[in-house]
Amino acid sequence: MDSTRPVELQPGEGAPGLPCPPDSSELVRECLNQFKLTEPQLRQIQARILGSMELALRGEASPVPAVRMLPAYVGSIPHGTEQGDFLVLELGATGASLRVLWVTLTGTEGHQMEPRSREFLIPQELMLGPGQQLFDFAARCLSEFLDEFPVGNRRLQLGFNFSFPCHQMGLDKSILISWTKGFRCSGVEGQDVVQLLREAIKRQGAYSIDVVAVVNDTVGTMMGCGPRSVPCEVGLVVDTGTNACYMEEARHVAVLDEDRGRVCVSIEWGSFGDDGALGPVLTTFDRILDQESLNPGAQRFEKMIGGLYLGELVRQVLAYLAQQGVLFGGCTSPALLRQGSILLEHVAEMEDPSAGTACVHAILQGLGLSPGAVDAELVRRVCAAVCTRAARLCAAALAAVLTRLQHGREQQTLRIAVATGGRVFERHPRFLSILRETVNLLAPECDVSFTPSVDGGGQGVAMVTAVAARVAAHRRMLEETLAPFRLNREQLVQVQAQMREAMAQGLRGEASSLRMLPTYVRATPDGSERGDFLALDLGGTNFRVLLVRVSTGGVQIASEIYSIPECVAQGPGEQLFDHIVDCILDFQRKQGLIEQSLPLGFTFSFPCKQIGLDQGILLNWTKGFNASDCEGQDVVGLLRQAIGRKQAVKLNVVAIVNDTVGTMMSCGYEDPRCEVGLIVGTGTNACYMEELRNVAGVAGDAGLMCINMEWGAFGDDGSLGALTTCFDKLVDQASINPGKQRFEKMISGMYLGEIVRHILLHLTSLGVLFRGQKIQRLQTRDIFKTKFLSEIESDSLALRQVRAILEDLGLPLTSDDALMVLEVCQAVSQRAAQLCGAGVAAVVEKIRENRGLNELTVSVGVDGTLYKLHPHFSGLVAATVRELAPRCAVTFLQSEDGSGKGAALVTAVACRLAQLAPV
């Protein structure tokens, strides 16, 4: 069904006119049938309201939506930990009086203290006089009420229930549109009523009171239900009038321009049908009632549902039937013919079967009528017809809201609680049961429970205020927790300068947290490289052998993955390298290369000290390897010895390469300006082409040398201490190498999830997350994989999908929790990207200054899952580099297979340079 397409309502069973059949039972049937609504009619009303809601949410002005969707600026529902003392001021809810309440919330579910309240009559002259006098009176009433409490110098928080038509512009800002209910104070319409109250309280000067929120009774009804196992996210009021509110996804509310979280939207649905949409289901009695009302043609839906009108509809029908001779022996009375003589209370009592006929007779006699024996039953049928129609119309509108929620949250089944309030629910015995039955018919995919709200205008408004106070307090604690992760430009400039200094020290051979290791790679590809090369990529329990063909048409790769059994990885070193050569031999057979001696590049991703292009001393095994007699040995030499033992193999090991250099070389083949390599994955590292004259310990002054920075260890000398948070320290202490790789532990994918987990634990201990309840699952180390940061921060995910990811981790959370977890992830990943960007800025500025250039154009080859998969990481790195190195035009290129293709290209460049070298 197209929910936004106007739906034409079909006429009901009853005719719009009222002919007078001779048979009185036929007349009664014709009369009452007008109030019957068929299922198709109800579904048409539901669809029409839903379409109008969606038009209004999108902010479309044409066609004019039949309902108004007004944000109430309430973004959270109660979760049970709200506590403290709160004031409520009610103005306009009870006619010519105002009420002040003191509400104490204990933060303990099921244990709430009874609010204390006092009502003050408003003199008639204040209702019609200057607005300042009315608000000064309200402030005096507040002071008089508080004189009974030991307030002292406490600062009190107040919720303002202002029950007049307003344009709400914030939680604490509401512009009065027009006075109603007999009020006509001058100088208030068009003004912010919260500000007027604040000024009056300030003039009174007796107590320190913060007006936190202005709330209507519908929102108060929803909020007054308190925490439940099924969230209460809909409020429904049927009192003198009718209205509803619900928690909408903020991204769907065009006027807010928000893309995260939820916001309470008040649905002004009383005016539905003012455009004529309800014409086919209006009875003659509805039309008469509307014509005689104070606002003909307006609030047509409300006039079919609201308690102010149900009694009047019943009176119209009874008067008509009496005039037709069907009731009361054809007699009427002045009271029966007088507008407003039958009230909602009368209708509820007369319809209630348990009240008996005596109750009906008593009410009718009070109207000056003399009911006969059968009159009581017929009057009861009239009351039932009017009220049943009201309940079913209300259900159609509520079903539209529930359908909107289900579609907006893309849920197959919506489980939700609806808070009900208002005198119709309180006094009419069957209204709720009819409502529930009809909602089940119209929205069968919604599992709805109904909860009566207790004093929505009082305790509900207090709860709005309490929730606002809780959210504000939690926001402060969240900001304080994340503040150390929000780095400013000055801090990033300092990191850049510290890295520049550490680079210079490392290049000079002085003590430095940056080792600045020569790789003996002296050039990047220039595009003239040609030939077939082998590459070996060893960095874990699986390794690859590759054949890389470099030709004028580009680079072609064939590869195969081989496994290294645990017994081999942890056995004798000779056995490990024999196994590697056996795998190379198998690959050569499959590729038809047995008789060929091809140059080989060896990517060896373990800590090494490189002393030549084809010489690398293994410092120590990692990643589960512990092969004996290898540490302290040249791994290329160990590989060559194994080749020698397998005499059928012809191999020429040209270069040993780490993955960072391979990444730079892989991108350098596509872009000759690529002179920097960057890895941001499980770990992080960088390399770049340095002037050979600056590299101590390597002979020669002319040309370039690729330097492996090993920048993961930057800061191991304490230089990053000012930026290290308590959460970084916890992650470091629990790592296998405490005190080492400090820069890497603030940037790389292996650690970001753990930083987030520790922050979440801290926020939980403060009561900010998960209602302060200890989540056992969150105690588990490494539960929060870094890939979840990438998923959670994706712009394409709605908040419900963020919640689903976190719930899959076993974290039971609210929408508020999901938003805060998102902010934590953003803060941690943003800091990581900014620190990485500061490092890159240091490198490219070093290259620019080395060459004495005013401006440098350079490319950076990048690899690593964090950089490639995180939705914002690459953009943040680039933005930071632009800010810190404005004289460098830096392009970032994502590498394809740096450890395989890159190793082959290092070998290819080495072969090219060897051919050019003088004999």
Q: Alpha-carbon distance 517 to 687, whole Å?
A: 9
CA distance 327 to 318: 7
Catalytic member of 605, 719, 748, 895: 605
For residues 311 and 348, what is the distance between their CA atoms, to the nearest angstrom?
9
Beta bridge partners of 857: 889
SS3 738: coil
What would the DSSP string read from start to end of 23-45?
A: SHHHHHHHHHHTT---HHHHHHH
Yes or no: say if 142 and 100 are a contact pair by the CB < 8 Å rule: yes
Q: Are 593 and 585 in contact (CB under 8 A)?
A: no
User: In Å, how far are 142, 314, 576 from 563, measured between CA atoms?
Assistant: 78, 85, 11
**Chain CA centroid to CA 113, Å:** 34
From the list 165, 218, 224, 215, the residue with the least C-alpha distance to 194 is 215
In contact, 838 and 885? CB cutoff 8 Å: no
Annotated catalytic residue 287: no
Count Cβ neighbours within 10 Å for each residue of 875-913 and write b for 16 or more, e otherwise: ebbbebbeebbeebebebbebbbbbbbbbbbbbbbbbbe
Residues 6+ apart with CB under 8 A from 362: none
The DSSP code for 11 is P
Which residue of the set 217, 286, 537, 659 is catalytic? 659
| Catalytic residue chosen out of the listed positions 300, 544, 771, 803 | 544
Torsion of CA 193, 197, 199, 205, to 10 degrees: 180
Contact 462, 86 (CB under 8 A): yes
Name the phi and psi angles at 722, rounded to 5. Answer: -65, -25
Active-site residue, 605 included: yes
Catalytic residue check, 97: no
Sheet order of strands, 116-121 included = 116-121, 97-106, 83-91, 155-162, 208-215
Q: What are the C-alpha distances in Å from 849 to residues 856, 878, 890?
A: 9, 20, 15
Which active-site residues does the annotation give?
Answer: 544, 605, 659
